[in-house]
Structure 1
Amino acid sequence: MNWNDLRYFVVLAGEGTLSGAARKLGKDHTTVARRIDALEQDVGARLFDRLGTGWSLTDAGENLVPVATKIEEDVLAFERQARGDETAHGVVRIAVPPLAGRILFAPRLAELLKDQRHLEYEILGSSVIANLARREADVAVRMATPDQSGLIARKLTNLRHAVYAMRGYTATVPEKDWEFCADGRNTFGDYKQGWVWEQLNRKLPMRVRSDDTHTVLAFVAAGYGLGLLPRYLADEDDRLELVTDDVTNELRKPVWLVVHPDIRRSPAVRMVMDALIKATEAIPDRYKC
């Protein structure tokens, strides 16, 4: 039996569809189907019913889910422990939000690569939270308080936000005609929007919502209206002017460094963690609190 097939089984059992499992595993759906077929042949039992709406576990499959999950956890723990005893060589998987990773952390990590030529990085620049227990990443930078048990987390800093407009917008556009480009990602976006209304003492029309900070900045820089943006990004853009600053830091966005305890002893991982900490220390004070 190929023990790696158990991971395909566990993920497909959780997702319920080939496309969902393939997306989570970073494989194509034909590979997932082939690995499940091989596992069924090895165990001599049908584990899934192939339905038009998805893949449904059979009774045999249901019974094997907790067993497979436990085996997978043990195998991953073995791998993490082995990596934790390695010298500073090999690949370190780093999960970091795309925008902050590119602007705040990539330069410091690049410096480390120049000095440590035996290191390799796999940068997971996605807003999807990587599962460290499953070794989807070795180290993660997160813009939300970690809630997964069993991980070691260190708060790096808080990032500041402010309201911006295109340079000259507030002087040439009457206040009654101001509009707002909203962050439509989550409840924090709704909270930020409410804060803006309080600062301006009124609601603004919103004809644009985006879950991408660069898109919000592009609309604001093009003269669409106001937008709430991280200071480390917007202050560096000469096209923008600051309209309302968050002087009380109500909208501070926490930044956390997260690692699994089994792998934190790895010299390579330790080097990367130190580089991320130094990158945070290098952020100008006006951008953090």
Structure 2
Amino acid sequence: MKEMIWDDTKAFLALARCGTLTLAAKSLEIGIATLSRKIERLEHSLETPLFLRFQTGYLLTDEGKSLLSKAEAMETAALAFSKSAKKESQLIGRVKVATAENLATHLILPALDHFQQAYPKLHIDIVTDIHTANLNRRDADLALRMVRPTNGNVSFQRVGTLGYGLYCSTHYQKKRSDANHDFLQWGEHYEHLPAAQWISDQLAGKEPILTTTSVATQVSACLAGIGVALLPHLVTQHTDLICLTDSPEINQDIYLVIQTDLTQSKRIRAVADFLSELVKTHQEQLRIGLCIN
């Protein structure tokens, strides 16, 4: 059996449904001679007669009747494929983005309305977790994170820097005249974080004034005057916290990470471009704080 051409199957279905070359050719918007060649080529490739030819029209042979449902199944699959491709090109659907809560809350969400106005049928699901999402397990389609991928089927690029500083409230600054700060620390399950390790070095074995498990709680504790915390500049911009000093040694690179098999998806690409441009536009706010030292 020779290789079959899908376009010839479309000709077969049209002729089976219309019954004449004239009507079938018209439905396909091709010439009668072209249609006739397609039918003959299909019969030749299948090595089977598909139609009985009469002056009044064409009737399916028994072989043709047995193949009709299979040809219709091929048509259904092709239409589904076409519909899916059209959906992709129109940027319809959902894209799951994994990122840190501070990036989601202070960077992505404030700009999300503008993105949704540009792509009203494309929706973003945001997954925030202190632990890194595993794109290989399909936890997300792409990620904006501060950990450089070292394995897995992913593509990534560095898009910016998240800067840190040592922050406190005005009330705390006034009541403390020395440099022996009351440090806020992360809980024991978060000892791997660069900020937690830096605070641990400063404590040098002393107990922290308070431990927490979220950036938001550390910001609130700082605002309450409880102590000082090492915070991303991004999360303090609309607060009354004071930056005592920059901590460039804690600064973290921001990476845009995408599952490699999704890099050509127009939906994924639209969201990836949105996130990348967002980081680049706000790079100064992300990286630099207004510190007094």
Q: Please identify runs of 4+ aligned residues in structure 1 that moved more than 3 A.
A: 194-197, 202-205
The match for 1:192 is 198
TM-score by length of 2: 0.62
One-letter amino acid of the structure 1 residue matched with residue 226 of structure 2: Y
C-alpha separation in 1, matches of 2:104 and 2:257: 14
Identity of matched residues, %: 22
Instruction: List aligned pairs for 1:38-57, cutoff 5 A.
Output: none
8 Å CA contact 1:180, 1:204 repeated in 2:
no
Cα distance, 1:173 vs structure 2:
2.5
C-alpha separation in 2, matches of 1:105 and 1:135: 21
Are positions 1:133 and 2:136 aligned together?
yes
8 Å CA contact 2:165, 2:246 repeated in 1:
yes
The match for 1:44 is none
Instruction: List aligned pairs for 1:242-281, cutoff 5 A.
Output: 242-246=243-247, 249-281=248-280
The match for 2:210 is 208
Q: Give a deviation string over 1:138-183, Cα, whole Å, max 9, x none.
A: 1111121112322101111111111111114223234277411112
Q: Give a deviation string over 1:19-75, Cα, whole Å, max 9, x none.
A: xxxxxxxxxxxxxxxxxxxxxxxxxxxxxxxxxxxxxxxxxxxxxxxxxxxxxxxxx
Secondary structure at the residue paired with 1:136? coil
C-alpha separation in 2, matches of 1:189 and 1:287: 16
- Structure 2: 5+ residue runs without aligned partners? 1-83, 289-293
Secondary structure at the residue paired with 1:144? coil
Cα distance, 1:108 vs structure 2:
2.9
Cα distance, 1:226 vs structure 2:
1.1
Cα distance, 1:243 vs structure 2:
1.4
One-letter amino acid of the structure 1 residue matched with residue 141 of structure 2: D
From 184, 195, 214, give the equivalent of 1:181.
Answer: 184
C-alpha separation in 2, matches of 1:268 and 1:162: 36
Secondary structure at the residue paired with 2:235? helix
C-alpha separation in 1, matches of 2:262 and 2:100: 21
Name the CA shift for 1:207/1:266 in 2 (closer, same or farther; >3 Å): same
Larger Rg: 2
- Count of residues in correspondence between the two structures: 201
C-alpha separation in 2, matches of 1:135 and 1:286: 31
Secondary structure at the residue paired with 1:157? strand
Cα distance, 1:234 vs structure 2:
1.7
**Greater mean alpha carbon deviation, residues 119-128 or residues 146-155:** 119-128
C-alpha separation in 1, matches of 2:135 and 2:98: 9
C-alpha separation in 2, matches of 1:217 and 1:164: 9
C-alpha separation in 2, matches of 1:176 and 1:122: 43
Name the CA shift for 1:97/1:176 in 2 (closer, same or farther; >3 Å): closer
Instruction: List aligned pairs for 1:231-242, cutoff 5 A.
Output: 231-238=233-240, 240-242=241-243
Q: Give a deviation string over 1:83-142, Cα, whole Å, max 9, x none.
A: 8x9322211111121221111122333311111112122221223332222322111111
One-letter amino acid of the structure 1 residue matched with residue 128 of structure 2: G
From 217, 225, 228, give the equivalent of 2:227.
Answer: 225
C-alpha separation in 1, matches of 2:201 and 2:97: 33
Q: Which has the higher contact order (CA 8 A, sep 6+)?
A: 1
C-alpha separation in 2, matches of 1:183 and 1:168: 22
Name the CA shift for 1:128/1:284 in 2 (closer, same or farther; >3 Å): closer
8 Å CA contact 2:122, 2:267 repeated in 1:
yes
The match for 2:28 is none
One-letter amino acid of the structure 2 residue matched with residue 268 of structure 1: R
TM-score by length of 1: 0.62
- Structure 1: 5+ residue runs without aligned partners? 1-81
Secondary structure at the residue paired with 2:262? coil
C-alpha separation in 1, matches of 2:171 and 2:283: 26
C-alpha separation in 2, matches of 1:231 and 1:171: 21
The match for 1:72 is none
Cα distance, 1:196 vs structure 2:
4.3
From 167, 172, 182, give the equivalent of 1:169.
Answer: 172
8 Å CA contact 1:178, 1:204 repeated in 2:
no
One-letter amino acid of the structure 1 residue matched with residue 199 of structure 2: Q
8 Å CA contact 1:96, 1:124 repeated in 2:
yes
The match for 1:29 is none
Are positions 1:117 and 2:123 aligned together?
no
**Greater mean alpha carbon deviation, residues 129-138 or residues 209-218:** 129-138
8 Å CA contact 1:96, 1:142 repeated in 2:
yes
Secondary structure at the residue paired with 1:206? coil
